[in-house]
Amino acid sequence: MAKNKNDLQQYQVRKTKGWVNVLISIFLAIWAIINLYPLYWMFTFALKDNKQILDTNKFGLPEGAPNKWFWSNFKEAMNTGPIGRFFLNSIIITFATIVITTLAAMMASYAITRIRWRASEMMNRIFMLGITIPIQASIIPVYLVVSKLKLINTPIALIVPYSAFSLAMALLICNGFMIQIPKELDEAAYIDGCGRGKVFFSVILPLMKPAVATTAIYTFLQCWNELMFASTFLTGEDYMTLPAGMAQLFGSHTTEWGPIGAALVIATMPTIVFYILFSRRIQDSFIAGAVKG
Amino acid sequence: MKSKKYDGVTIFLFLLPALLLFVGILVAPMASSAINSFYQYKGFGQKTWLGWDNYKRLFNKDFPAYIPFKDSVVHALLLAGFSVFIQLPLALGLALLLGRGIKGERFFLSVNFLPVLISTVVIGQLWLKIFDPRGLLNSLLRLVGYLKEGDDNIQWLAEGQGKLLYSCFIPMLWQYVGYHMLLMYAGVKSVPTELREAAKIDGATDWQVDRFVVIPSMKQIVKVSVIFAITGSLKSYDLIRIIAMNLSTKDASVPSTILMDYMTLRGEYGVASAVAVLLILLCFFFAILISTIFKERD
């Protein structure tokens, strides 16, 4: 690599001019601020009272020493509704969806990419239509069935539709990963006397670990924010997801801004901490999906 | 090695979970929606055959309780336009700049992707506070002197002032720039380093490398981004629901708010099904259109 760089210098590579680089940096910095400032503002107004937010101190840190900040907003926010509970429900429902989607997609991908049969390509195309079909397409019939089965207000009412709508993308990603596993591996296992099932579970699945992270992140992105099904199918607080629960909490107009900010911070904090810890993993998994797809 | 018949059973068993989900939640409900869209149906009791009336109702203002469906499609397409011509170029620009290996590459990547992971409801509530008459935006406008002493606060969220639609669009575009940026960054990074270096040895500037080496190899990813951006705009719902605060919004209506309005507020499942059918057709139409456009460019 080092040798390469020396070579490049001999050829007098045209460097981008200094001032252009400065402009690029300024542009990137401004865009970073546009991304971060609203979140920073949310964190600060969670610790202010209305007088500061709306009048005396709109943009900056809360006034006074940290012990003067309005920490009571957080207590008040916790009293308005079980935000922690919503968060947990969202995690459970998203996790279950990820497990079902990933397993179903892996199995289907195995049948499509590793067993030779006439209609496999066709089957794959049909599944891929799922990427384009909007989740709204099935809300009415699914709602009617779910209410007939008395499943309104249960996590299953969300997990099954979420899995179905995450399936196409997951399958696309799994196919991309699975094609790269050499066919010789399967054949060696068949010669050793393994059946298809055994090959799938003990040869293919262990090699698909990287695909799991990637399907997980795409499935997460599809379910975590979903509001339409969640707010229609869940009516009680017991199983409400974060989007549905928060939407309901804010349905009534609150005049105090501080506790709203605090509630937003509580709902966001775990995601941000998780992201800071695993940002590289998350990004790499996401990128892997984009390249494979 | 194995008998054909045995393989058929195995294939079926491996496809079964995916098929159950696909048929049970996508195919059967779509068929059911298509059928329901020709009936008057309240969700229980008798269905009454209406023919095309549910569809006519969406377009003809002489029908009772008419909601202009055409406006909602126009809004969704406008959003798609903003998405394709502002959001995606911005994402592409960021991806190209970061893909050059600039200092702080990972930091900028992380910061730009952050909004994608934050709950839409949180983003919506946050922007409600930003657009509030007494909120951050008006305060900033006063700070820079756009709003003078004594000027009224701008009503960014009021119905009938022509601003609500854009107040809904801005957070949507803002939140997902990072999503497309990371998709495209993957494309930029998949260009082999040798290819870049070869071009640079031949005397190409960074801009020329981007223009003639990187961008042409990203066609597939740009196509995926465009399809996601347009179908995403057509099915947009969450942020509009939160920022417009009202399913019956006229200024910021999109097909999904009309669907939910007919379904949950009026209990008119037939008309709601007609909206769902039209929405599916629109999504397919644009997905096919984009694929054809990208194919012709070959």
Tens digits of per-residue pLDDT, A165-199?
Answer: 999 999 999 999 999 999 999 889 989 888 888 99
pLDDT of residue A15: 66
Structure token pair of residue B88 = 């995606």
B86 and A CB contact within 8 Å: no
* DSSP one-letter string for A49-90: -HHIIIII-SSSSPSSSGGGS-THHHHHHHHHS-HHHHHHHH
Q: Chain B: nearest CA to A19, how far in angstroms?
A: 14
- Indicate whether A13 pLDDT > 70: no
Q: Smallest Cβ distance to B197: which of A8, A42, A264?
A: A8
B141 and A CB contact within 8 Å: no
Q: How confident is the model at residue A251 (pLDDT cuts 50, 70, 90)?
A: low
B178 and A CB contact within 8 Å: yes
Q: Chain A: nearest CA to B201, how far in angstroms?
A: 6
* CA nearest neighbour of B30 among A282, A68, A65, A133: A133
- Indicate whether B78 pLDDT > 50: yes
Q: Chain A: nearest CA to B192, how far in angstroms?
A: 13
- Indicate whether B120 pLDDT > 50: yes
| Contact check, Cβ <8 Å, B36/A141 | yes
- Indicate whether B148 pLDDT > 80: yes
| Contact check, Cβ <8 Å, A107/B17 | yes
B73 and A CB contact within 8 Å: no
- Indicate whether A8 pLDDT > 80: no
Q: Smallest Cβ distance to B32: which of A141, A163, A293?
A: A141
Q: How confident is the model at residue B185 (pLDDT cuts 50, 70, 90)?
A: very high
Q: Which residues of A touch B260 (CB under 8 A)?
A: 228, 232
Tell me the mean pLDDT in the region A245-253: 75
Q: Which residues of A touch B106 (CB under 8 A)?
A: 279-280
B34 and A CB contact within 8 Å: no
More confident residue, A14 or A179: A179
Q: Which residue of A has its CA nearest to B90?
A: A31
Q: Smallest Cβ distance to A133: which of B26, B130, B174?
A: B26
Q: Which residues of B touch A45 (CB under 8 A)?
A: 129
Tell me the mean pLDDT in the region B127-150: 89
Q: Smallest Cβ distance to A133: which of B97, B116, B283?
A: B283
More confident residue, B226 or B62: B226
B232 and A CB contact within 8 Å: no
* CA nearest neighbour of A101 among A153, A172, A149: A172
pLDDT of residue B263: 92
Domains of chain A in sequence order: 83-260+274-292 (1.10.3720.10)
Which of A42-53 are b and which e, b meaning 16 or more Cβ less than 10 Å from the residue's Cβ? Answer: bbbbbbbbeebb
Q: Which residue of A has its CA nearest to B174?
A: A35
Q: Does an H or E element contain A196, and which? A: helix A196-198
Measured CA to CA in angstroms, residue B208 lies from A158, B205, B219 at distances of 49, 5, 17
| Contact check, Cβ <8 Å, A140/B134 | no
Tell me the mean pLDDT in the region B89-104: 91
- Indicate whether A245 pLDDT > 60: yes
Q: How confident is the model at residue A262 (pLDDT cuts 50, 70, 90)?
A: very high
More confident residue, B160 or A255: B160
Tell me the mean pLDDT in the region A94-108: 97
Q: Chain A: nearest CA to B281, how far in angstroms?
A: 9
pLDDT of residue A2: 46
Tell me the mean pLDDT in the region A39-56: 88
Kindly state the DSSP code that residue B68 receives in the 8-state scheme. -
pLDDT of residue A12: 55
Contacts with A, B 242-281, CB within 8 Å: 242, 255-256, 259-260, 263-264, 269, 272-273, 276, 279-280
Distance CA B185, CA A286 (A): 10
Distance CA A243, CA A222 (A): 13
B102 and A CB contact within 8 Å: yes
pLDDT of residue B200: 85
Tell me the mean pLDDT in the region B158-175: 91
Which of B186-201 are b and which e, b meaning 16 or more Cβ less than 10 Å from the residue's Cβ? Answer: bbbbbbeeeebbebbe
Work out the percent of chain B whose per-residue pLDDT is above 70: 97
Tens of pLDDT, residue by residue over B243-257, are 998 888 889 999 999
Q: How confident is the model at residue A1 (pLDDT cuts 50, 70, 90)?
A: very low
Q: How confident is the model at residue B110 (pLDDT cuts 50, 70, 90)?
A: very high
pLDDT of residue A126: 94
- Indicate whether A163 pLDDT > 60: yes
Q: Chain A: nearest CA to B60, how far in angstroms?
A: 23
| Contact check, Cβ <8 Å, A267/B122 | yes
pLDDT of residue A80: 81
- Indicate whether B81 pLDDT > 60: yes
More confident residue, B298 or A216: A216
Tens of pLDDT, residue by residue over A196-239, are 889 999 999 999 998 999 999 999 998 988 999 999 999 888 89
CA B238 from chain centre, in angstroms, equals 10
Q: Chain A: nearest CA to B166, how far in angstroms?
A: 17
Parse chain B into domains and list their residue ranges: 1-36, 51-296
Contact B38, B54 (CB under 8 A): yes
Distance CA B239, CA B245 (A): 9
pLDDT of residue A293: 65
* CA nearest neighbour of B260 among B252, B268, A26: B268
More confident residue, A164 or A52: A164
- Indicate whether A5 pLDDT > 70: no
- Indicate whether A250 pLDDT > 80: no
- Indicate whether B289 pLDDT > 90: yes
B227 and A CB contact within 8 Å: yes
Contact A158, A230 (CB under 8 A): yes
Average per-residue pLDDT in chain B? 90
Q: Chain B: nearest CA to A130, how far in angstroms?
A: 8
- Indicate whether B13 pLDDT > 90: yes
More confident residue, B45 or B208: B208
CATH numeric code, B51-296: 1.10.3720.10
**Highest mean pLDDT: which range of A52-56, A104-108, A127-131:** A104-108
Q: How confident is the model at residue A4 (pLDDT cuts 50, 70, 90)?
A: low
pLDDT of residue A254: 67
Q: What's the angle, vertex CA B88, arms to CA B87 and CA B91, rounded to 5?
A: 90
Q: Which residues of B touch A275 (CB under 8 A)?
A: 110, 114, 117
pLDDT of residue A113: 93
Q: Which residues of B touch A196 (CB under 8 A)?
A: 2, 7, 10, 14
Tell me the mean pLDDT in the region B193-221: 88
Interface A:B, Cβ pairs < 8 A: 274
